[in-house]
Amino acid sequence: MNLFEFCYGIIHWLVDLVNHLWYWLGDLLPWWFGDFFDAVGDFAASQGHLSVMTILLEVVVVVVIALINVLNFLWIFRKFMARMFDFYGPYYVGYRIGGWLQNLADGIKLFVKEIIVPAKADKMGYLLAPVIFVGSSILILATIPFSVDFGVSTNKSGDYVPAGALFALAAFAIAPFSILLAGWASNNKYTLIGGMRSAAQMMSYEIPLLMTVASVFLLAGSFGFVDIVNAQHDMWFGIPLFIGFIVFLVCLAAEVEIIPFDLPEAEAELVEGWTTEYGGMRFGLFYMTTTVRSYAGGALATALFLGGWQGPSLIPDEIWFLIKAYIVFVVFQWMTWSLPRVRVDQILGLGWKRLLPLAIINLMIAVALKSMGWF
Amino acid sequence: MAEMWINMGPQHPMTHGLWNLRVKVDGETIVDAQPEIGYLHRGIEKLCEGKSYPQIIPLADRLCYGSSLTWSHLYCMAVEDLMRVEVPERAEYIRVLTIEMQRIVSHLMWLAAYAGDLGLAAGFVYTMRDREVFLDLFQSLTGARITYNFPRIGGVAHDLPPNFERDSLRALSYFEGRLKEYEDMFEGSKIFMMRNVDVGILRKEDAINLGVTGPTLRASGVTYDLRKDVPYSVYEEMDFDVATHKDCDCYARYRVRMDEMWESCKIMRQALQKMPKGKWRIVAPRNAPVGTGLARVEDPRGEGVIYVVGDGSERPYRVKIRSPIFVTVSAAPKMLIGYKLADVVAIMGGLDMCIGETDR
Amino acid sequence: MADRGKRGQEGDIERSPSRIDSVPEERLIRALMNAFPEAITGFLKVRNGLVRARLDRRDLFKACKFLREELGFEHISMISAVEYDDRFEVVYHVTSYKDKLLLELIIRTPKDDPSVDSVSSIWGGANWQEREAYDLMGIKFNGHPNLERILLPRDYQYHPLRKDFRGD
């Protein structure tokens, strides 16, 4: 049973329950109101309304799962960093579960902080930038399914979006605009520099990223996630396209802006980089969204290179998918806390001079494999 | 993009102290730089004129809180020169031992801040943790972790506590193992080398001309170390090498400081071995004669000098303090111009700035 | 360490008969005496490695140029300013890396005109030290490229290290 049918069942049951009450109420009321109630009840039980409600429930389910995973990621981030540094990490809040509730506590703290808008900031840009950033980042999750049955963009009969991966990568690439807008609208030289660095870095790392993904599309023969994962049933794409996998991971780290690529928000030089002027929950949203992006990136890496949800069927497919995404995330964290920051012109040099040729080599390997008929 | 002036500081996570660096950037390249200091000026030289000679020792500690023992020893040496007091030998050995331990502590703090600024958070935490070993030793010796108030005019405040030698040797062997690991961690990281090699070059002639001293000078190829060339205290009896490097960049400064830490371990072991028994302090006279006293010391940051003028009373007439970082910061524009904005961290971090002694 | 207590008297070197100039301190003193016979007076070898002399303030720039270029004193360690009842004294400590010597030059200026020539064109390290002496003691350095206050605010009125500054 896929997610659509599951949610449809819930909505159907809910609408039936409410309609029971509704029709009974309508029977009690005199002539005109009764008709009105009947009409509304019929509308609620109609197919179109049920479908729309189902989709909304699916979205809520997927977003809630994403946010819970983000909380987990944040917890792993802090615990992993702490253990690498020989101290405890979150410890007291949620004492018995290892400090997991610390992030909730921090979120509540950010909620109750005063939100200040700088006087000379460009109001429109300042208020719009977080909206675009958060919106586009959550949009990435729209087409990534956890398994064949668990995806928000599958419909009742299990058809999926044919260009799912393309859509996800396109949504991934909207963020640089919002970062530049945030950096510029804050009316602060530091944030302007941070925003510009970030835009340059992200733009130059999009290209090797997309070229490696192009090699995956070539081998799979389709743009859709389910097709790509099914094409990996013999061998995960990460093995023949090993160079591409490494390039993809490095480009992902640069897109998500973690150390060693986090010069745009380098704390030592630019205070907080392009988010300096944002306070309270706005900053909390930015922070959470960078984690959502690394979660989405991990999910993409899993689906494209690590075989998606395939694994021994002791554990359900969705859990496999999550396990692999977590492994990618943990590898990123390992890298983050072991390496210094790369200077921005060295980052750009790395992107254009080293990763782009590797991505092209990878593409040629994919062409060779495809023409030999192995995939 | 047009050129613009950026203020880095006075409140800034990177700048290690309260000072302002105005850089003029053209895009990402630095075109001009103007350091501005004076935010931490406490008027120490004037304060000294109202206090008696022993009362100034804690004040001298607070000159550079990163390596406070060096400054209070320097002050005591200057006053002993003025009063023509001869310090007993055991006190001299204790002084050398603690000064070298302070040098290790100061360089570890430099390394922690430097690594942290470059983004290597693990480097920060590990070096700070190893600094704790020596701070525990200091605490058992003097009771404090940062500003010790340990030297006295005529010696040191009290003798070494029992088992100090055993604990120090244990700490040294632990530390030497860790120092090897740090060298591997930093120099094995290609990114660290990329950020440091060929960055912030200061030629030998410029370094000498601009009055730069200390590890920055030795990293530009000049072999001048006050401990070897103008020996004071009992450094003549110690056998050690002067650390120099011939590239004049940030990597050279890092390398010189690491070598200095190795040499300090050597000196500490020798001091522990050669320490004689005897008095650790003689009581100095209360009033100083009319005259002047001068002392120079190789501070972890450069050449520190104190010039004391006495007028026959129990208070100094004038105390003049020369801070190495004061002059090195004036040489900073030479090292910064032509490099990128992101190199400011590496270059200024490599100078090991401590604003306490700059502003006094 | 052993000879720290042994100090000479001022004028010792000049009064003594000709000695063999084998020690770097004495070579330095002979060179200075030959080059500036009236300007530099009162030589004293304070201890090993430290020589003190008095210098007339009118010949400061020439003497420092001579020290830098002929005698190889490349580094200026410290510029101090001291105020006495009847005069100001500016004390220059100059180091030679080659010979490992420190030369202490004491310059007197009258109380009503505390100004000397700036040596920052000879030694670049003197630049900020002279600014500090100006800032805190009020000594003017003629020819300094940028004689502004450095530690105190730009518009501060007083010179705090002077003895008549009470701080209240």
ipTM rounded to 2 decimals: 0.86
- Residue matched to tokens 């940030």: B250
pLDDT of residue B103 exceeding 90: yes
The tokens of B285 are what? 């006279």
Residues contacting A372, CB < 8 A, separation 6+: none
Q: How would residue A2 be classed by pLDDT, with cut points 50, 70 and 90? A: confident
- Confidence class of residue C6 from pLDDT cuts 50, 70 and 90? very low
Q: How far is B134 from chain C (nearest CA, A)?
A: 29
pLDDT of residue B259: 92
Interface of A to B at Cβ within 8 Å reads: 81, 84-87, 189-190, 193, 259-260, 262-263, 266-269, 271, 337-346
Residues of B in contact with A339 (CB under 8 A): 119-120, 189, 191
Query: Cα separations (Å) of B141 from B152, B234, C62?
Result: 14, 20, 51
| B211 vs C76, C80, C100: nearest CB | C76
pLDDT digits (tens, 9 = 90+) for B237-253: 888 888 888 888 889 99
Average pLDDT estimate for A56-74 = 87
Provide the mean pLDDT of chain A.
83
Domain harbouring C56, CATH code: 3.30.460.80
Tell me if residue A173 falls in helix, strand or coil.
Answer: coil
In a domain, C139, yes or no: no
Query: Between residues B74 and A22, which one has the greater pLDDT?
Result: B74
Give the pTM. Answer: 0.86
Contact assessment for residue B256 and residue B219, using Cβ atoms and an 8 Å cutoff = yes
Beta carbons within 10 angstroms of residue B167's beta carbon = 17
Residue contact A193–B340, C-beta within 8 A: no
Of B14, B121, B126, which has the smallest distance from its Cβ to A269's Cβ? Answer: B14
pLDDT band at C5 (very low <50, low <70, confident <90, very high): very low
Please name the residues in contact with C1: beta carbons below 8 A apart, sequence gap of 6 or more: B92, B233, B234, B236
Q: What is the mean pLDDT of residues B201-226?
A: 88
Domains present along chain B, CATH in parentheses: 53-324 (1.10.645.10)
Cβ of A337 and B121 within 8 Å?
yes
Tell me, yes or no, whether C23 lies in a domain.
yes
> Please, which residues have CB within 8 angstroms of residue A249's CB and are 6 or more apart in sequence?
A301, A328, A331, A332
Q: What 3-state class would DSSP assign to C98?
A: coil
- Considering chain B, what is the average pLDDT of its residues? 88
Q: Do chains B and C touch (3 or more CB pairs under 8 A)?
A: yes
pLDDT at position C21 is 57
Whole-number Å distance between alpha carbons of A75 and A105? 12
Count how many residues are written for chain A: 375
Both tokens assigned to C23: 């020690």
Interatomic CA distance for residues A58 and A195, integer angstroms: 35
Q: What's the domain count of chain C?
A: 1
Q: Is B345 on the interface with A (CB under 8 A)?
A: yes
B307 reaches C (C-beta below 8 A): yes
CA pair distance B257, B110, nearest whole angstrom: 9
Domain of residue C63 covers 12-113
The pLDDT, as a whole number, for residue A257 is 78
Does B115 sit within 8 Å of A337, measured CB to CB? no
Q: Identify whether the C-beta of residue B83 lies closer than 8 Å to the C-beta of residue B288.
A: yes
Q: In this structure, is residue C143 part of a structural domain?
A: no
Q: What is the mean pLDDT of residues C95-123?
A: 87
How many Cβ pairs closer than 8 A exist between chain A and B?
Answer: 78
Q: What is the pLDDT of residue B262?
A: 93
CB atoms within 10 A of CB A300: 23
Provide the pLDDT for residue A271. Answer: 54
Interchain proximity C91–B81, CB inside 8 Å: no
Q: Which residues of chain A are within 8 Å of residue B195 when distances are taken between CB atoms? A: 340-343, 346
Alpha-carbon radius of gyration of chain B: 20
Q: Which residues on chain C are in Cβ contact (under 8 Å) with B86?
A: 4-5
Q: What's the confidence (pLDDT) of residue A158? A: 60
User: Which H or E element spans position C108?
Assistant: strand C101-110
Domain presence at residue C155 = no
Residue B217, min C-alpha distance to chain C (Å): 11
Residue at C20 is within a domain: yes
What is the rounded distance in angstroms from the CA atom of residue A73 to the CA atom of residue A290? 11
In a domain, C145, yes or no: no
Cα gap B356→C67, rounded to integer Å: 32
> Are C97 and B307 an interchain contact pair (Cβ–Cβ within 8 Å)?
no
Q: How many residues does chain C have?
A: 168
Note the pLDDT of residue B76.
Answer: 92
Mutation target for B interface from C77, C163, C165: give the one with most B CBs within 10 A: C77
User: A158-162: which pairs have CB atoms within 8 A and are 24 or more residues apart?
Assistant: A158/A2, A158/A4, A160/A224, A160/A225, A160/A226, A161/A224, A162/A222, A162/A223, A162/A224
Helical residues (DSSP H) of B25-88, grouped into ranges: 44-48, 56-61, 68-83
The predicted-structure confidence for A161-201, as pLDDT tens digits, reads as follows 788 888 888 888 888 888 888 888 877 777 777 778 788 88
Q: What is the DSSP string of A125-167?
A: HHHHHHHHHHHHHHHHTTS--SSSS--TT--TT----TTHHHH
Q: For residue B290, list its beta bridge partners.
A: B311
Burial class (CB in 10 A: 0-12, 13-18, 19+), A352: middle
Residues of C in contact with B45 (CB under 8 A): 136, 161
Question: Counting runs of H as helices and runs of E as strands, what totals does chain C give?
Answer: 4, 7
Q: Give the rounded percent of residues in chain A with a pLDDT score beyond 70.
A: 94
Q: pLDDT for C38-75, tens place per residue? A: 777 778 877 878 888 888 888 888 888 888 888 888 88
What is the enclosing helix (H) or strand (E) of C53?
A: strand C50-55
Q: Report the DSSP beta bridge partners of residue B280.
A: none
Query: pLDDT tens digits, residue range B279-328?
Result: 888 988 888 889 889 999 998 998 999 999 988 888 999 999 999 999 88
**Backbone CA torsion sign across B132, B136, B138, B142:** positive
Would C160 be classed as within a structural domain? no
Instruction: Tell me which residues of chain B, numbers 181 to 220, contact chain A at a CB-CB cutoff of 8 Å.
Output: 189, 191-192, 194-195
